[in-house]
Amino acid sequence: MCACRTWRRCCRAPPRCAPPTGATSHYRGKILRLNQDGSIPPDNPLIHGVKSHVYAWGIRNTQGMVFSPAGQLYATEQGPNTDDELNLILAGRNYGWPNVAGYKDNAAYAYANYSKAEGGCEGVKDPAANGTSVPPGVPVQKESAWSDPDFVEPLKTFYTVDNSFSFKDPVCADSSLYYICWPTVAPSSVAYYKGGKAGVPGWENSLLIGSLKRGTIYRVRLDPAGHLPLGDAEPLFRSVNRYRDVVVSADGATIYVATDVEGSLGTGENGAPATRLENPGAILAFKYSGAR
């Protein structure tokens, strides 16, 4: 175990001790696992020969995590212009970012490394094309050019598109709010639906994922082992809101959704940015009343 005073030298990737003030950048883009007193659990994974608080890495922007009754850990992750992800988090595994977004398929994403731009990156403008178009002097690496034996692809993406996709949809041209039209949902929290005596038949073993951008709950049904999604994600409870958090009542009958306050954009019925939300700063309840 290294002494924290030498953390920068001997704990570079990933750390074995809690980083001192100012050195926490080594924990960015990772899922940490720690004891209640902040110490490192003895069964944490070895990553590149180092045991630390880091449980999984290659993470871009995880917004929600949930355990299944069987102890499996699922996480939602916001992608760049494409490929929001649902991941099954496994110890010591690499989820690809920034080398891969979504699947390793060279589809509408490449790693543009602006930190290595010729002459420095100051003043170099990102055209927001997901690495498919970059200014001169910015090195670009295709997803297929990178490899790591610990890489894990997502269970599902929201959404993967091909290289012909335009990131400047005219529907979102007003005020150049093109990101609202990008093929993403901005997933927030995730809840596990196990059913219940008053629950929805057939929904057992599903994940419910809230969308900040689309005002929708997406239901992803899992196989009995919890390792594979079955079919497409089912969109539910659509409204012009930003869904921040979702929880399920103990009997499975009611799904509660927390919405954001005004100030951020949603998506209107035509797919364009919506500046007014229907139920800002509210708790919505969706109750199953039985088959009709």
Residue 113 has what pLDDT? Answer: 96
pLDDT in tens, 278-291: 999 999 999 998 76
pLDDT at 17: 52
DSSP string covering 201-228: TT-SSEEEEEETTT--EEEEEB-TTSSS
Grouping H, G, I as helix, E, B as strand and the rest as coil, residue 176 is helix
**What pLDDT sits at residue 123?**
87
- Residue-wise pLDDT for 128-162, tens only, equals 999 999 999 999 999 999 999 999 999 999 999 99
Band the pLDDT of 263: cuts 50, 70, 90. confident
pLDDT of 264: 82
Mean pLDDT over 40-50 rounds to 94
Other beta carbons within 10 angstroms of residue 184's beta carbon come to 22
Q: How many CA atoms lie within 13 A of 21 on its CB side?
A: 0
The candidate with the shortest Cα–Cα distance to 216, out of 271, 165, 161, is 271
Give, for 187, the enclosing helix (H) or strand (E): strand 187-193
Q: Is the pLDDT of residue 262 over 90?
A: no
pTM over cut 0.75:
yes
pLDDT at 292: 58
Strand pairing partners for 31?
A: 56
pLDDT of residue 7: 32
pLDDT of amino acid 4:
31
Long-range CB pairs of 74-77 (<8 Å, 24+ gap) are: 74/155, 74/190, 74/192, 74/207, 75/31, 75/190, 76/187, 76/188, 76/189, 76/190, 76/209, 77/154, 77/187
Q: pLDDT tens-digit profile of 164-192? A: 999 999 999 999 999 999 999 999 999 99
Each residue's pLDDT tens digit, 205-249: 999 999 999 999 999 999 999 999 999 999 999 999 999 999 999
Cis peptide before 136 (omega within 30 of 0): no
Which tens digits make up the pLDDT trace of 47-63?
999 999 999 999 999 99
pLDDT tens readout for residues 189-211 = 999 999 988 999 999 999 999 99
Which pair of structure tokens corresponds to residue 134? 């970059």
pLDDT of 230 reads: 97
Residue type at 114 in one-letter notation:
Y
Mean pLDDT of 110-126: 93
Tokens of 132: 């498919």
For the chain, the C-alpha Rg in angstroms (whole number) is 21
pLDDT band at 9 (very low <50, low <70, confident <90, very high): very low
